[in-house]
Amino acid sequence: MTQKVAVVDYGMGNLRSVVKALEHVADKAAEVVLTDSPEAIARADRVVFPGQGAARDCMAALRDTGMDEVVREAAASKPFLGICMGMQVLMTRSEENGGTDLLGLYPGAVTRFEEWIDGEHYKVPQMGWNTVRQTQSHPLFAGIPDNSYFYFVHSYHVDPEDPSLMAGETEYGVAFASAIARDNVFAIQCHPEKSADSGLRLLKNFIHWDG
């Protein structure tokens, strides 16, 4: 039976590139559906939660559509992939917009990059290619060489309280958690759908991951 992959659509940003990349790597192994229906997300075999924009707007959209609870439930019960803002909202609180409460699945903060570190200037947002050092072995990294390049666009980064949550680390003025993993949840700050072969391999690994 063909499995169903739900891509969460909460009305923020163009998510078609994520859907197209998943359809490409899934071939006929899965049906990929972009949906704003909590019922469809609850029925899906696996869930992808992409996102962009501001944390406050993201959380407001999730609450307004009733999808905050179904996302929490999906992250507790089935293979779950968070991308970009979909990674950040798993934390407790973000500095963005004067402070925004997030989904709170994992204790930790989302903090803004510093523009000046030890006299060196860093453009914020970080925009472009950077490496991900794999800090734990994980099925979603299968076939992806350590320190492979991925494409990033973000001004804020995740700072989990539990260091064992980190699955990947990237340097941009500071070392930050660019991927986290716990049980059936994997989340990554970069955009795998824009990250050439390494990103497509990660998405393909997710399609076949049993969580």
Question: Which residue in 161, 169, 193, 208 is the catalytic one?
Answer: 193
Query: What's the token pair of residue 68?
Result: 């905050």
Query: What's the token pair of residue 129?
Result: 């290619």
Active site residue 191: yes
196-207 and 16-26 helices cross at what angle (nearest 10)? 70
Contacts 24+ apart (CB under 8 A), 64-69: 65/10, 65/11, 65/36, 65/38, 66/38, 67/8, 67/10, 67/36, 67/38, 67/41, 68/103, 69/38
Q: Cite the DSSP H helix spans in the chain.
A: 16-26, 38-43, 55-64, 67-77, 85-88, 196-207
Active site residue 138: no
Question: Which residue in 84, 96, 154, 190 is the catalytic one?
Answer: 84
- Rounded CA gap, 35 and 155, in Å? 27
Question: Which residue in 23, 24, 191, 208 is the catalytic one?
Answer: 191
Active site residue 115: no
Backbone angles phi, psi at 80, to 5 degrees: -135, 130
> Active-site residues: which are they?
84, 191, 193
